[in-house]
């Protein structure tokens, strides 16, 4: 098995990526805790590539990274790449989002995920994207998930991300779609 360093310190994200890449032949591990990569890109793809590349170079191993966030139509795509920094906690971020949307009836939104795999020399070997369209509810619903999941409603499923089982969320989410695209490309990667 080839070692693939996940450019995160979050064990939850590691488990999630392990679930997506379970049958890929890669052995996933967390990046060293002292290795921190600042997300300075202006797009999700730029941040994913930056993190994968820098972690690959620093560790001398293959590396994978993703970056994702929420884009709200009525807010001109905000919070976008600043989704995680839109407040100091999930509750703060949701409150700010609902406050800024106010009574606006145009509540279309999408979660976007970009994923990248870098070779040990830092060159990007693969990139993939995934998008899940939905709408922002007026109030949170559900106890699962994290971040904006309680207010992100997917009409085709009739649930928010926070109400979905992990299996359903994996199959319809932006991250699930990005990793499905990545998995299709993996057999063709140039080692």
Q: What is the pLDDT of residue 23?
A: 83
The pLDDT tens digits of the residues spanning 130-175 come to 999 999 999 999 998 889 999 999 999 999 999 999 889 989 999 9
What span, in angstroms and rounded, lies between the C-alpha atoms of 41 and 47?
5
Active site residues: 67
Indicate yes or no: pTM above 0.95. no
- Whether the link from the prior residue into 79 is cis, omega within 30° of 0, is yes
The pLDDT tens digits of the residues spanning 111-125 come to 999 999 999 999 999
Which sign, positive or negative, has the C-alpha torsion 76, 170, 54, 32? positive
What span, in angstroms and rounded, lies between the C-alpha atoms of 191 and 184?
16
The pLDDT tens digits of the residues spanning 2-41 come to 899 999 887 878 888 888 888 888 899 999 999 989 889 9
What span, in angstroms and rounded, lies between the C-alpha atoms of 95 and 161?
17
Residue 191 reports pLDDT greater than 80: no
Domains of the chain in start order, with CATH, are 2-188 (3.90.950.10)
The pLDDT tens digits of the residues spanning 66-84 come to 999 999 999 999 999 999 8
Lookup: tokens for 39: 């997300």
Q: b or e along 130-148 (b: 16 or more beta carbons within 10 Å of the residue's beta carbon)?
A: bebebbbbeebbbeebebb
Residue 128 reports pLDDT greater than 90: yes
């Amino acid at each position: 098995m080839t070692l693939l360093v996940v450019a995160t310190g979050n064990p939850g994200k590691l488990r999630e990526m392990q679930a997506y890449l379970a049958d890929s032949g890669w052995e996933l591990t967390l990046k060293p805790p002292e290795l921190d990569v600042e997300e300075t890109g202006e797009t999700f793809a730029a941040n994913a590539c930056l993190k994968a590349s820098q972690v690959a170079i620093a560790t001398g191993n293959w590396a994978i990274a993703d970056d994702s966030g929420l884009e709200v139509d009525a807010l001109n795509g905000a919070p976008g790449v600043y989704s995680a920094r839109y407040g100091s906690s999930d509750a703060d971020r949701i409150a700010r989002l609902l406050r800024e949307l106010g009574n606006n009836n145009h509540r279309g939104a999408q979660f976007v995920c970009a994923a990248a795999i870098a070779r040990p020399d830092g060159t990007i070997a693969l990139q993939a994207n995934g998008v899940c369209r939905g709408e922002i509810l007026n109030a949170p619903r559900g106890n699962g998930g994290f971040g904006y999941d309680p207010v992100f409603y997917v009409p085709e499923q009739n649930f928010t991300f926070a109400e979905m089982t992990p299996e359903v969320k994996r199959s319809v989410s932006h991250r699930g779609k990005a990793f499905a695209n990545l998995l299709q490309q993996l057999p063709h990667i140039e080692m």
